[in-house]
Amino acid sequence: MNMPVRKTEAVIALPPTAAKILPLPPKRSAWTSRLMARLAAIAAHVVPPIVVLALILAIWEVLCRKAGATLPPPSRVLSETWELIVDPFFDRGGIDKGLYWHMSASLQRVAFGYALASVVGVALGTLVGQSTWAMRGLDPIFQVLRTVPPLAWLPLSLAAFRNGQPSAIFVIFITAIWPVIINTAVGIRNIPQDYRNVAKVLRLNHAEFFFKIMVPAAAPYIFTGLRIGIGLSWLAIVAAEMLIGGVGIGFFIWDAWNSSHISEIILALIYVGLVGFVLDRIVAAAASIVTRGTAAS
């Protein structure tokens, strides 16, 4: 676009006075066009989900406005939960707290259980990936245990711990640990023989080999496991909290159902979805920082 314009201008602007102002117009237009391109690129990603969201809300509104609808339309959800939205920090004692407190209680349980699962999972995965005998002994057991649904562990852990809090953390732990173990083991087993040979020629000791070769080489696999694990943890916490009660987003939902506050359930679901999304993104971002350069070789 710019080329022909500049050309004609150059032909016309032969006198030296006119030549002085020549460089400016193409520069400014290049800058604006770059800005426009940038905005267009952003819009291309932001506009479609907004349009779809608006459509969904409109259909929902229409369907639930009718008489006899069992669920509230979005407008009523908003008006009924407005107090909860604008003041997430209130605390009237017991479980009558703002959504912030419920969320943070759930997140704390997930943080404990998930952190534990990450450490133990990477350690066990390393053992299984590195030692043929550990693999033969442990792998069949892992393969069976990992198919047990998370909630099936809850009664057992309640029996063992006799307390809701550690039981919920244990359920998170046992849910998140399997993908971490399995992916770590695969990552360790897939370390190219070349890297092992380099380590041997350099005479790296066990600790050096673990930190300088194993962890970075298996990092992409480990993070795949960690990412699946955080998703499963968040799935499991809501269900587990429904059963153990107390402060937490899961029990908040259950409580809202018991008091027929359907709008509150919907609001909580939206929050749960958003937080789950953010958790996934955090682990993904950590992965892309740590595994920089590792994936391509």
Partner 1 sequence: MSSYPYLKLDHIDKVFVRGSTETEVLKDITLGIEKGEYVSIIGHSGCGKSTLLNIIAGLLPVTTGGVLLENREVNDPGPDRAVVFQNHSLLPWLTVYGNVRLAVDKVFSGVKSRADRHAWTLHNLDLVQMTHAKDKRPAEISGGMKQRVGLARALAMEPKVLLLDEPFGALDALTRAHLQDSVMAIHGKLNNTVLMITHDVDEAVLLSDRIVMMTNGPSARIGEVLDVPLARPRKRLQVAADATYLKCRQRVLEFLYERHHFVEAA
CB of 295 to partner 1, least distance (A): 8
Angle in degrees, CA 68, 69, 73, rounded to 5: 140
Pick between residue 86 and residue 296 the one whose CB is nearest to partner 1.
296
The Cα-based distances of 47 to 11, 39, 185 in angstroms read 43, 11, 42
Burial 200-233 (b: 16+ CB within 10 A, else e): eeeebeeeebeeebbbbbbbbbbbbbbbbbbbbb
From the list 1-9, 169-177, 188-196, 270-278, the region that binds partner 1 by CB under 8 A is: 188-196
Q: Output 191 or 236, the one with its CB closest to partner 1.
A: 191
Q: How far is the CB of 291 from partner 1 (least distance, A)?
A: 8
Q: Is residue 91 helix, strand or coil? A: strand
Contact letters for partner 1, residues 205-244 (x by CB under 8 A): ---x---xx--xx-x-------------------------
Handedness of CA 156, 111, 104, 284 (dihedral sign): negative
Angstrom distance (rounded) from CA 169 to CA 157: 10
The verdict on 197 binding partner 1 (CB under 8 A) reads yes
Burial class (CB in 10 A: 0-12, 13-18, 19+), 181: buried
**CB-based contact 28:8 (threshold 8 Å):** no
The answer to the question of residue 204 lying near partner 1 (CB under 8 A) is yes
Site size toward partner 1 (CB under 8 A) is: 22
Within a 10 A sphere around the Cβ of 162, how many other Cβ atoms?
9
Task: Figure out which of the listed residues 201, 207, 278, 289 binds partner 1, where binding follows CB under 8 A.
Answer: 201
Instruction: Tell me: does residue 83 bind partner 1 (CB under 8 A).
Output: no
Closest approach, Cβ 215 to partner 1, in A, equals 10
- CB nearer partner 1, residue 278 or residue 296: 296
Stretch of 30-38, 98-106, 174-182, 190-198 contacting partner 1, by CB under 8 A: 190-198
73 binds partner 1 (CB under 8 A): no
Please give the C-alpha separations between residue 234 and each of 25, 27, 267, in angstroms, as whole numbers: 55, 51, 17
Applying CB under 8 A, the residues found at the interface with partner 1 are 192, 194-195, 197-198, 200-204, 208, 212-213, 216-217, 219, 291-294, 296-297
